[in-house]
Amino acid sequence: MAETRRSLPSRIWRAIPPGIRAPLGVVSAVIALVWVVLCLIGPQITPHDPLAQNLPLYQPPGVDTLLGTDELGRDVFSRILAGAQVTVGLALLLVVMSMVVGSVLGVVAGFFGRWVDEAIMRFTDLVMAFPTVILAMVTAAALGASLFNAVLAALIVSWPPYARVVRSMVLSLRHQEYVASGRLLGFSPLKSIGVDILPNVAGPTLVMASADIGTAALLLSGLSFLGLGAKPPSPEWGAMVSSAVRHFDKWWMGVFPGLAILTVVICFNFLGDALRDYFDPKGATR
Amino acid sequence: MPQPSVSPASGDNSDPALPSAGRQGRRSHAALLRYLGKRLVISVFLLFGITLVTFILTNLVPGDPVAAAVGQRAAEDPAVVAAFRAKYGLDLPLPQQYANYLARLVQFDLGTSWQTHNPVAKDLSTAIPATMEIAFAAIVCAAIIGVVFGAWSAYKRGKITDQVLRMVSLVGISVPTFWMAIVCFYVFYYRLGIAPGSGRLTPGVSAPPHVTGMYTVDALLAGDLRAFVDAAAHLSLPTLVLTLYTIGLLTRFSRTSFLEVLDSVYVRAAKAKGLPGRTVFFKYVLRAAAIPILTVVGLAFGSLLSGTVLVESIFSWPGLGSYAYQSASNLDLLAVMGVGLFVGVVYLSINLAIDIAYGFIDPRVRVG
């Protein structure tokens, strides 16, 4: 129990295997932080207007246009900075939303049991029976192409793992003595969930969510790449790579937005891995 | 077992009056059958669930299918709309519509694509072999390399090799496949010129006679070496891209499986009694780790099929992925649903096969 009293940053730090703690952990944490900051201030600090088509077309990377210009004379670097808000911001939003939806369903299923549990878990099985990309694509196509619908479609495929994990945690918590005694004291289900169950479920769920941010960014940019997400002028990274397919000899148009996606996914995956290793001691030795 | 027993210490096995082996054998047989039956029933329900999902998405989407099909002007005429709705059964109650939808599905009638004007089932029958060709090639390469990496990494746990392999596999699963495809195409085709361009064959090389629909296999069957070499060369880049992604996945999972086995008592015992490392690996470790690894390979195959959606369009590979991509970007709903339905069913079959294999191999599963 002494472990849990350490501050979160120190726990995260200890989670990183000592051999790679210095370079990898720090680098990925820093990159993740940079992207989150850019997600907030990115659009304000772009050197050029990310939407204005006022530069020479197909400019290779140079001094003025750091990462070149695209087929409409827009600055790739500025678009990547502005796009952080779209890709990273929506990935964070998606993870939070799937965590909330999945946790609510998982808590309800685990706490009330019986037919509620059956109904929710069979529904979860059903959604999980589909491969994620395909189901998200099918849903996004049915709803119509827009960024909002892409997030909605991604949400539909992203909540089930949370529901499963949270439910199994609630099931084991329900039989703990302090939860039972709370109920004997006359706690309403809502109070019992809020006071006794949620605080215990929150930690592992957050760890799971942090490992999920990279996947969310990949899924959303993939949908935009397919033309089912961001609409053309929007500087979404997946959509930028998609437009580069038609101009693949102008390598900078596709390579840099792709690298942006890659760095986001890698650093959040590294952080998520480190967190999971730490909170799951059995996994940490592995 | 809620069986009242006279002496508390005697279980079923220790009772000499019972032919314990025979009884147990029969019981475990029944348990296996019950388990298989349960899995089958669940799969059938999931199958219905999948069709229900595609039905709902196809029929209840915002946006008027009538207007989309007959055009905006005709849709303003109530008589035309009523006739259209009657013709396609859209005026029937929803359960009836769903039953009709299922009846059509059973006959492999997935509707007609707005885009190609072909029946979706016909489009799929040409697209599926093209995708399977890449998917099989990629899963074989990825399984071999991934399992070797996983074993290597597990044996060198905590050492620098392990750290590097873990890092590489994490990078592997973090790379957006659609981006990797463009980079590979640019480097190997455009810059280095060592890979052929897009498509399944170089223009001028004629396709081998249709047997399986997989050009490499068909070319070999027909003894057409030139077509085989050309088809294999075209296959290489898309396979490479999908392999890279899948290697990461398989390395991570097989590493975990190997670690579990390496930690087990019998492997430590085998090592302790001085068996050579090679014997321990092939006779003990690989055998025990094989089952979970096969499971993951099966699941990876499913995710590979969805990965092709993002890769094929870049290589103009006329498979499921390109088809899904083109239909999705033109909002050709029935075609997208066809792909979704097919991949969903494949996914479900793989899961069922894995469940059944587990039931046969691991007695704990069917009892629990």
B202-246: pLDDT as tens digits: 777 777 777 777 878 888 788 777 888 888 888 888 899 999 888
* Cβ–Cβ under 8 Å, residues A139 and A229: no
- Partners of A135 on chain B (C-beta within 8 Å) are 53, 340, 344
Q: For residues A225 and A238, is the Cβ–Cβ distance under 8 A?
A: yes
Is the minimum CB–CB distance between A129 and chain B shorter than 8 Å?
yes
Which percentage of chain B shows pLDDT scores above 90? 3
* pLDDT score, position A97: 94
Measured in degrees and rounded to the nearest 5, phi and psi for residue B107 equal: -90, 20
**Considering the domain A25-41+75-279 in this protein, what is its CATH number?**
1.10.3720.10
**Does residue A130 sit at the B interface (CB-CB below 8 Å)?**
yes
CA distance, residue A162 to nearest chain B CA (Å) = 19
Domain ranges of chain A: 25-41+75-279
CB atoms within 10 A of CB B160: 10
What are the pLDDT digits (tens) for A112-135? 878 888 888 888 888 887 777 778
Query: Does residue B4 carry a pLDDT above 70?
Result: no
* Predicted local confidence at residue A283, as pLDDT: 45
| pLDDT tens-place string over residues A87-118 | 888 999 999 999 999 999 998 988 887 888 88
pLDDT of the residue at B90: 67
Look up residue B89 and give its two tokens.
Answer: 């059964």
pLDDT at B99 over 90: no
Inter-residue contact A76 to A253 (CB < 8 Å):
yes
Surface of A (217-256) touching B: CB under 8 A: 218, 221-222, 225-228, 238, 241-242, 244-245, 248-249, 251, 254-255
Test A19 with B344 for CB contact under 8 angstroms.
no
Q: What are the extents of the domains in chain B?
A: 31-106, 121-329
Give the span between the Cα atoms of B307 and A133, in whole angstroms. 8
Phi and psi of A69, rounded to 5°? -125, 160
Using CA atoms, how far residue B65 sits from B69, B70, B79, B114, B339, in Å, is 6, 9, 16, 12, 19
Name the range with the highest mean pLDDT among A59-68, A72-81, B83-92: A72-81
Interchain CB distance below 8 Å, B176 and A122: no
Tell me, rounded to whole angstroms, the distance of Cα B154 from its chain centroid.
26
Query: What is the spatial distance between Cα B52 and Cα B163, in angstroms, rounded to a whole number?
Result: 45
Whether A284 contacts chain B with CB within 8 A: no
Tokens encoding A67? 């990462």
User: Strand (E) positions, A90-211?
Assistant: none
In terms of C-beta distances under 8 Å and separation of at least 24 residues, what long-range contacts does B264-272 make, across chains too? B264/B288
Dist CA A57 CA A234 (whole Å): 18
Binary contact (A286, B255; C-beta < 8 A): yes
pLDDT band at A82 (very low <50, low <70, confident <90, very high): confident
Minimum CA–CA partner of A220 in chain B = B176
Burial of A34 (0-12, 13-18, 19+ CB in 10 A): middle
Best of B114, B162, B178 to substitute, by most chain A Cβ atoms within 10 angstroms, is B178
Whether B151 and B258 have beta carbons less than 8 Å apart is answered as yes
Average pLDDT on B329-343 reads 80
Give me the amino acid identity at A168.
S
- Is the ipTM reported for this complex over the cut 0.95? no
Please give the Cα distance from B335 to B339 (Å, whole number).
6
- Specify the 3-state DSSP secondary structure of B263: helix
Topology annotation, domain B121-329: MetI-like fold (1.10.3720)
Q: Helices B20-59 and A132-143: crossing angle, nearest 10°?
A: 20
Task: Please report the pLDDT score of residue B140 as a whole number.
Answer: 92
CB A196 within 8 A of CB A179: yes
| B112 phi, psi to nearest 5 deg | -115, 135
- End-to-end, the C-alpha distance of chain B in Å comes to 13
Judged against a pLDDT cut of 80, whether residue B13 lies above it is answered with no
Pairs from A40-47 (Cβ < 8 Å, separation ≥ 24): A40/A85, A42/A81, A42/A82, A42/A83, A42/A84, A42/A85, A43/A81, A43/A82, A43/A85, A45/A81, A46/A75, A46/A77, A46/A78, A46/A79, A46/A81, A46/A82, A47/A75, A47/A77, A47/A78
